C-alpha cells in the first residue's frame, strides 16, 4: 500500500514538468510573434503579368468615341423628328376641325378688308357697335349679291348657252374634219362614244356626288355663319382678343410676339387689299375683252375671274381657261384665240406691273413658294386651303423675319417708361450712367 502514492506522485510530477515546458514554449512563440514586423509578413502570391505585354490602355468616353459628324446628324435628326411629329399632329387637328379653321381664317381675311370702313365710320361719329354691325352686314350682303347674280345669270342663259354649245361643237367638228390634222369622222365618233360610255359608267358616282351636295350645302351655310359671327367679333373686339392671346404666351417671349403681331396684321391687310384691287382689275379688263368678242355670259365670267383671282397663279389659269373654253364652244376657234390673247395680256400686266406696284415688298413671296403653298393648301383643305395658303406663308415670312431681327438686337439700356393708365403711380426708372469713353 505504501508504493501506490509514490507512483502517483511521480506521474503528477511528470505532468507538472510537462505543463511547465509547454508554458515556456508557448511564451517563446508569443515573444517571437511579437518581434516580427508587419512589413515582413509574407504577402499572398499574385501572378505578375508577363514582362513583354504592354499595359492595357484606358477606355475612352463613349460620347467622345462617336465622330463629330455623326453626333451633329443625330442631334439634328431627333429635332427634325420632333418637328415633323408636331406638324403631323397639327395637320391632323386642323383636318378634324377643318370647317372651323377655314371659317376663322376667312373671317380674318374679311376683317382685314373691312376694318378701314369701320375706322372711317368711327371717325365720322358712328359708335363702335353700330359701325361694326353695319360694316359686317354690308360686306356679307355684297358677297351674297355677287353669288346670287352669278347664279341668276347662269340660270337665265342656260338654255341659250346649251344651244350655242351644241352649235359650237358642230362647228368644231367641221373644223377638225377640214383641218390639216387629218382627223376623220370615225375618230370623232369614237371620242364621243368613249365620253358617253365614261359618263354612263360613272352614273352612280355622279348620283352619289349629287346626294352629297346636300351635306356640302349644309357645311357651307355653317361655315358662312361662323365666318359672319367671327368677323363681327373681330371687328368689334379685335384689340382685346389680341391682348388676351398675348397672355397665353410665356412672359420671356411676350415682347417679341407683341411686336410681331402688328407687323403680321399689316402684311395680311396689305395682301387682302392688294389682292382685291388686282382681282377687280383682272375681272374688269378680261370681262370687257370677252364682252366685245361677243362671248356669252361675259358678266358672270368676269365675276368668276374676280373670285378665282384670290387663288394665286392657279386661279388665274383656271378662270382664263374657263373663258377660253366658253368662247371656243360658242363662237369658234378665232374667238377662242382672241380670248386667250386677252387673258394672257391682262395676266402679264398683272404679274409684272400691278402686283409689284400694289402689293409692294411687304408681301413679296417667291413664285416657287407660292406654287408649293397653293398645292399643299389644296391637298390639305381643298379650294379653301389654296385660298389661305399664300397669305399664311406671307404672314409667316414677316413674323419669322421680325423675330430673327428682334433676337439679334441688343438689350435696351433703359427700362421702358409705362404709358397711359399704367403710368399712374409708377416712379420713373433712372437710366444707368453713360460710359465716359462714348
Name the residue with higher pLDDT: 195 or 231: 231
For residue 138, give every residue at least 6 positions away whose Cβ sits within 8 Å of its Cβ, in sequence order, or none: 117
**Joined grid coordinates for residue 333:** 376657234
Which pLDDT score, from 0 to 100, does residue 205 have? 56
pLDDT at 121 over 80: yes
Which pLDDT score, from 0 to 100, does residue 128 have? 83
Which pLDDT score, from 0 to 100, does residue 434 have? 45
Which pLDDT score, from 0 to 100, does residue 418 have? 42
CA gap 366, 320 in Å, rounded: 23
pLDDT at 432 over 50: no
Q: What integer is the mean pLDDT of 29-41?
A: 59
pLDDT at 417 over 60: no
At 92, the pLDDT band (50, 70, 90 cuts) reads confident
Name the residue with higher pLDDT: 252 or 166: 252
Query: Rounded mean pLDDT of the chain?
Result: 75
Check: CB of residue 109 under 8 Å from CB of residue 268: yes
| Helix (H/G/I), strand (E/B), else coil: 242 | helix
Q: Which of 202-206, 404-408, 414-418 has the highest mean pLDDT?
A: 404-408
Check: CB of residue 382 under 8 Å from CB of residue 98: no
Picking from 9-18, 41-50, 181-190, which range would have the lowest pLDDT averaged per residue? 41-50
Taking alpha carbons only, the member of 308, 348, 111, 379 closest to residue 229 is 111
Summarised one tens digit per residue, pLDDT across range 318-340 is: 888 888 888 887 777 788 888 88
Which pLDDT score, from 0 to 100, does residue 82 have? 93
pLDDT at 48 over 60: no
Which pLDDT score, from 0 to 100, does residue 225 have? 86
Picking from 51-60, 135-144, 375-384, 420-429, which range would have the lowest pLDDT averaged per residue? 420-429
CA gap 268, 275 in Å, rounded: 10
Picking from 28-32, 64-68, 184-188, 217-221, which range would have the lowest pLDDT averaged per residue? 184-188
Which pLDDT score, from 0 to 100, does residue 347 have? 79
User: Within 10 A of 233 (CB to CB), how many other CB atoms are there?
Assistant: 16
Which pLDDT score, from 0 to 100, does residue 81 have? 93
pLDDT at 52 over 80: no
Name the residue with higher pLDDT: 228 or 56: 228
pLDDT above 70 covers a percentage of the chain that reads 69
User: Within 10 A of 109 (CB to CB), how many other CB atoms are there?
Assistant: 21
**Joined grid coordinates for residue 142:** 355684297
Q: What integer is the mean pLDDT of 355-383?
A: 72
Check: CB of residue 262 under 8 Å from CB of residue 274: no
**Joined grid coordinates for residue 38:** 508587419
At 430, the pLDDT band (50, 70, 90 cuts) reads very low
User: Within 10 A of 380 (CB to CB), how many other CB atoms are there?
Assistant: 15
Which pLDDT score, from 0 to 100, does residue 35 have? 59
Which pLDDT score, from 0 to 100, does residue 419 have? 43
Burial of 230 (0-12, 13-18, 19+ CB in 10 A): buried
* Cα angle 134, 136, 141; round to 5: 95
Q: What integer is the mean pLDDT of 356-373?
A: 70
Q: Which of 315-324, 348-357, 363-372 has the highest mean pLDDT?
A: 315-324
Assign residue 125 a region (left: φ > 0; alpha: ψ between -120 and 50; beta: otherwise).
left
Which pLDDT score, from 0 to 100, does residue 171 have? 67
Which pLDDT score, from 0 to 100, does residue 51 have? 56
Which pLDDT score, from 0 to 100, does residue 50 have? 58
CA gap 185, 176 in Å, rounded: 9
Which pLDDT score, from 0 to 100, does residue 135 have? 86
Q: What integer is the mean pLDDT of 383-402?
A: 82
Summarised one tens digit per residue, pLDDT across range 202-245 is: 555 555 555 455 576 777 788 888 888 888 888 888 888 888 88
Amino acid at each position: 500500500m505504501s508504493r501506490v502514492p509514490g507512483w502517483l506522485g511521480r506521474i503528477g510530477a511528470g505532468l507538472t514538468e510537462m505543463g511547465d515546458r509547454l508554458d515556456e514554449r508557448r511564451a517563446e512563440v508569443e515573444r517571437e510573434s511579437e518581434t516580427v514586423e508587419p512589413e515582413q509578413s509574407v504577402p499572398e502570391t499574385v501572378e505578375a503579368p508577363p514582362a513583354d505585354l504592354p499595359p492595357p490602355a484606358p477606355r475612352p468616353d463613349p460620347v467622345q468615341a462617336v465622330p463629330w459628324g455623326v453626333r451633329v446628324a443625330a442631334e439634328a435628326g431627333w429635332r427634325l423628328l420632333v418637328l415633323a411629329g408636331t406638324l403631323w399632329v397639327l395637320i391632323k387637328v386642323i383636318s378634324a376641325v377643318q370647317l372651323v379653321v377655314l371659317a376663322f381664317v376667312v373671317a380674318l381675311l374679311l376683317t382685314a378688308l373691312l376694318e378701314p370702313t369701320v375706322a372711317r365710320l368711327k371717325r365720322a361719329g358712328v359708335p363702335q357697335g353700330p359701325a361694326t354691325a353695319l360694316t359686317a352686314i354690308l360686306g356679307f350682303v355684297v358677297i351674297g349679291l355677287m353669288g346670287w347674280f352669278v347664279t341668276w345669270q347662269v340660270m337665265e342663259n342656260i338654255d341659250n348657252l346649251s344651244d350655242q354649245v351644241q352649235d359650237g361643237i358642230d362647228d368644231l367638228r367641221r373644223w377638225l374634219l377640214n383641218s390639216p390634222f387629218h382627223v376623220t369622222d370615225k375618230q370623232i365618233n369614237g371620242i364621243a362614244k368613249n365620253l358617253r360610255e365614261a359618263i354612263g359608267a360613272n352614273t352612280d358616282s355622279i348620283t352619289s356626288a349629287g346626294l352629297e351636295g346636300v351635306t356640302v350645302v349644309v357645311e357651307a351655310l355653317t361655315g358662312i355663319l361662323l365666318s359672319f359671327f367671327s368677323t363681327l367679333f373681330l371687328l368689334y373686339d379685335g384689340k382685346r382678343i389680341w391682348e388676351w392671346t398675348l397672355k397665353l404666351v410665356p412672359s420671356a417671349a411676350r415682347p417679341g410676339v407683341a411686336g410681331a403681331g402688328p407687323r403680321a396684321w399689316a402684311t395680311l391687310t396689305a395682301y387682302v387689299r392688294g389682292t382685291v384691287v388686282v382681282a377687280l382689275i383682272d375681272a374688269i379688263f378680261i370681262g370687257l375683252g370677252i364682252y366685245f368678242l361677243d362671248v356669252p355670259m361675259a358678266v358672270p365670267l368676269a365675276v368668276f375671274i374676280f373670285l378665282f383671282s384670290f387663288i394665286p397663279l392657279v386661279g388665274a389659269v383656271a378662270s382664263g381657261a374657263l373663258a377660253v373654253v366658253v368662247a371656243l364652244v360658242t363662237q369658234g376657234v378665232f374667238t377662242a384665240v382672241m380670248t386667250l390673247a386677252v387673258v394672257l395680256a391682262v395676266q402679264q400686266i398683272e404679274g409684272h406691273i400691278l402686283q409689284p406696284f400694289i402689293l409692294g415688298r411687304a408681301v413679296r413671296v417667291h413664285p416657287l413658294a407660292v406654287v408649293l403653298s397653293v398645292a399643299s393648301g389644296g391637298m390639305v383643305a381643298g379650294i379653301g386651303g389654296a385660298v389661305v395658303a399664300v397669305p399664311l406663308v406671307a404672314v409667316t415670312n414677316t413674323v419669322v423675319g421680325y423675330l430673327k431681327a428682334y433676337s439679334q438686337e441688343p438689350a435696351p439700356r433703359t427700362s421702358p417708361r409705362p404709358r397711359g393708365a399704367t403710368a399712374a403711380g409708377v416712379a420713373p426708372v433712372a437710366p444707368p450712367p453713360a460710359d465716359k469713353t462714348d
